[in-house]
Amino acid sequence: MMKRIISATVMNQAGVLNRITGVLSRRRFNIENISVGHTDNDKISRTTFIVNVESLEEVEQLMKQLNKQIDVLKVVDITDEAVITRELALLRINADNKNRNEIYTLIAPFRANVVDVAKNSLCIQVVGTTEKIDALIDLVRQFGIKEVARTGVTAIRRGNSKPDKIEKLIIK
């Protein structure tokens, strides 16, 4: 099994996310993670998702099937490129007068922020790679986690990266 990060630009039409997840599910691809949002052009959205596949042929087939969708503009496998991946998480954890300061100190190296404080809990916001967020969650588990909300990964290529082999295979 390998994880591939796929980035697709799509027409911002009603139901376009359905079309994408529909292609993935009926061809039995396993999505681990999906996120979607506008680009600078409000007619175009970017969706980023992570799939588990057995081989590169499999991911190539997936990309071709996605490309067949009329509302899909471009599909790129950016796994092997220089990419920046980020995820945002909001964590509500138990906190009281005794340990609040300890929590503040603990999360500081993660550049996480406290965005809400209540009598018995506080809410932390953290942005970073999936690994970083996983590490923070592990660390604050000792206080007792009430709720976790994660956005899923979004990604973008670095400015000076070259397109990789797989992108060239896609004829569109």
Partner 1 sequence: MKVEQQKKELTGALILLDALIENGVEVVFGYPGGQALPLYDAIYDYGIKHILTRHEQGAIHAAEGYAKISGKPGVVITTSGPGATNILTGLADALIDSMPLVVLTAQVPTDVIGTDAFQEADMIGLTMPITKHNYQVRDVKSLKRILAEAFHIASTGRKGPVVVDLPKDLLIATCKRTESVVIDLPGYQPNFTPNALQINKLKAAIQKAKKPIVVAGGGVILSGASEELREFCNKYNLPVVHTLLGLGGFDPDSKLYLGMGGMHGEYAANKAICECDLLISIGARFDDRFTGSVKHFAPNATIAHIDIDPAEIGKIIKTDIPIVADAKNVIAEMLKEPINRADDDQWVEYLFEQRKTFPLNYAKDSEDLKPQEVLEEIFNQTKGEAVIVTDVGQNQMWAAQFIKQTAPNRWATSGGLGTMGYGLPAAIGAQIAEPDRNVFAILGDGGIQMTVQELATIKENKLPIKIIILNNSVLGMVRQWQTLFYKERYSHTVLTNPDFEMLSRAYGIEACTINKKEDLKNMLKKAIEYDGPIVVNCLIDKDEMVYPIVAPGAGLHEMKGV
Q: Interface with partner 1 by CB under 8 A: which residues?
A: 10-11, 14-15, 18-19, 22, 26, 57, 60-61, 64-65, 67-73, 170-172
Q: How far is the CB of 120 from partner 1 (least distance, A)?
A: 41
Q: How far is the CB of 168 from partner 1 (least distance, A)?
A: 12
Q: How far is the CB of 55 from partner 1 (least distance, A)?
A: 11
Nearer to partner 1 by C-beta: 83 or 170? Answer: 170
Nearer to partner 1 by C-beta: 12 or 151? Answer: 12
Nearer to partner 1 by C-beta: 111 or 172? Answer: 172
Q: What is the 3-state secondary structure (H, E, C) of the chain?
A: CEEEEEEEEEECCCCHHHHHHHHHHHCCCEEEEEEEEECCCCCEEEEEEEEEECCHHHHHHHHHHHHHCCCEEEEEECCCCCEEEEEEEEEEEECCCCCHHHHHHHHHHHCCEEEEECCCEEEEEEEECHHHHHHHHHHHHHHCEEEEEECCCEEEECCCCCCCHHHHHCCC
Nearer to partner 1 by C-beta: 71 or 134? Answer: 71
Q: How far is the CB of 140 from partner 1 (least distance, A)?
A: 41
